[in-house]
Chain A
Amino acid sequence: MPGVDSTFESTPGSTGGAAPAVEIDGLVKRYGSTTAVDGLTLTCARGAVTAILGPNGAGKTSTIEICEGFRRPDGGTVRVLGLDPADAALRPRLGIMPQTGGVPPAARAGEWLRVVSRFYAHPLDPGTLLGLLGLADHARTPYRRLSGGQQQRLSLAAAVIGRPELVFLDEPTAGLDPQARHACWDLVAALRASGVSVVLTTHQMDEAEKLSDHIVVIDHGRVVAEGTPESLTGAERQLRFRARPGLDLEELLAALPPGSAAKESPSGHYIIEGQVGPQLLATVTAWCATEGVTTEDLRIERRTLEDVFLELTGRELR
């Protein structure tokens, strides 16, 4: 079978001891004439949860599969725990959850997890893990008869059973029901609390915001923004309220301090931006009172990660 010859540049003298979980510099990956990853540079710290966020086709899976050693880059360097991703010494140290599949359809859930556990020196107990992930009653069920959420949870169990140092989760909660999603979030929190580094991809904002220490937003194969959830959403605040559709925003703006902005999006939902403080709040409510408008859900909040994301990656469908 093909050898595992590597085309990566090597970094002399790297021992891997204190290296970051993942270090990517100028990564390029092409499929034919399509450039999926276009000079991507990012670092994922040890012991932290890093979320790679981006729309479909942004290059998330290509990037993570290169880190997992499944694909070779066309350019740039990638180091995982200080090592070349193709290095066999990495295999016991990594836990991976692919986006789909990887399990023989006829294999029984419990038996398959037990077989995977036998590949590791100090595995977690498969039975315990199945129980915690709500799969105890399905230990004898063939993989193909499990629901989508059950399949994802089994895959998640296999990713952590070998007690890895670094876990890659590729869209771990895609298509999950709320219970399964929370089970996944709890597991990521437990990994973080146990000092395991986690790199996950998602296009769900709440997931990235809730779970991660560091968020990297990528689009068209490049990093477009990164930082903590707080730093990305910024200090800027917005006043939001609901009221009957079609208020005259020109008239409202005239009453507000210069530099304010107001929009109705979607219909009946109003967002006011600017120097959001007690003065602006009082002005808006006073104006509503003179107009005879009852506001609902009036609140001041930071921009959501979703706002930031749409700003960075655009609103057009693709």
Chain B
Amino acid sequence: MTTIATLDLTPRPGAAPLHRMVLAQAGAEIRAMLRNGEQLLLTMIIPILLLVGFSTAPLVDVGDGARVDFVAPGILALAVMSTAFTGQAIATGFERRYGVLKRLGATPLSRAGLLLAKTLAVVAVEALQVVVIVAVALALGWSPHGDPLWAVPLLLLGTAAFSGLGLLMAGTLRAEATLAGANLVYLVLLGLGGVLFPLDRFPAGVQHVLGLLPISALTSGLRTVLSAGGGFPGGALLVLLCWTVAALALAARTFRWE
């Protein structure tokens, strides 16, 4: 029988291939997200409740057309923000606090590999959110007009922009401050970003400023390609690209790993 004393620990060091490391870490991140009750509330339950509530009850005046046609693209944008920004910021902030990022830094998994794993995990959870939200919206009578393929670059660039903002927050603030801040930003952007309340209800001057928020770009872009049947959402993609570059550049300069 093997005991600790007879265990063969002869050195045989070596790093696993990058894809194996990244997939293992991404799997761990996905499991962590799906098992965390607060995260599920934020990423699944709240978006679905808002989708059902605002699609069936006359809570806001969305103009002509079916309510769900207006609400569904906004909820898709909210789903991206909840996972890529709020969930990721909080999780990463606490990983920093608990020395998890530092400990991972002592393994062969590089920082680039870790970020790749986090991105894969976020995209996987978002894919799950999109499937559930689209299914519920269709059940509520949603009839998308336009080419849903244009939604893909919007969702991906939105993910990149919100991930950058989430990591910027997680890498600089204390974990508790990130927890409070990320939730606050989520609420503010939910209210001001055209997710449920049309931006044209705000005064004209304010509208222009709000239109430059990443959440507004994502919701208006998704509405253009999914409800209005519009083509290439150039303006929305440009706004999201600017946020992505700025947030990731700033996060790269300021991120503290412990």
Contact = CB atoms under 8 A, between A and B. Distances in A.
Interface of A: 1-2, 68-70, 88, 91-94, 96, 98, 100-107, 111-112, 114-116, 118-122, 124, 128, 132-133, 160, 162-165, 183, 186-187, 189-191, 193-196
A121 B31 CA distance: 23
A133 B4 contact: yes
B136 to A, nearest CB: 28
A93 B28 CA distance: 23
A296 B109 CA distance: 59
Contact of B107 (A116, A132, A191, A193): A116
B181 interface: no
Contacts, number: 137
Nearest to A81: B13
Given A120-B108, A163-B9, A187 B4 contact: yes
B27 A103 contact: no
A92 B107 CA distance: 6
Given A119-B107, A163-B13, A196-B11, 18 more contacts: A2-B252, A93-B13, A104-B32, A105-B98, A118-B23, A118-B24, A119-B108, A119-B109, A121-B13, A122-B13, A132-B4, A160-B9, A162-B107, A163-B11, A165-B11, A186-B5, A195-B11, A196-B9
Contact of A70 (B10, B102, B110): B102
12 contacts: A1-B111, A1-B251, A1-B252, A2-B252, A70-B105, A104-B95, A114-B24, A120-B108, A132-B7, A163-B9, A191-B9, A195-B11
B25 to A, nearest CB: 7
Contacts of A121: 12-16
Given A111-B31, A187-B4, A120 B255 contact: no
Nearest to B99: A101
Nearest to A105: B98
B8 interface: yes
A186 B3 contact: yes
B13 A92 contact: yes
Interface of B: 2-16, 20-21, 23-25, 27-28, 31-32, 35-36, 95, 98-100, 102-103, 105-111, 115, 251-253, 255, 257-258
Nearest to B6: A190
A119 B2 contact: no
Q: Is the interface of A mostly helix, strand, loop or mixed?
A: loop
A69 B103 CA distance: 11
Contact of B14 (A120, A133, A190): A120
Would you list the 10 A-B pairs with minimal beta carbon distance, nearest first?
A121-B14, A102-B103, A118-B24, A194-B9, A101-B99, A186-B4, A163-B12, A165-B11, A92-B15, A93-B13
A108 to B, nearest CB: 9
Contacts of B3: 132, 186
Contacts of A160: 9
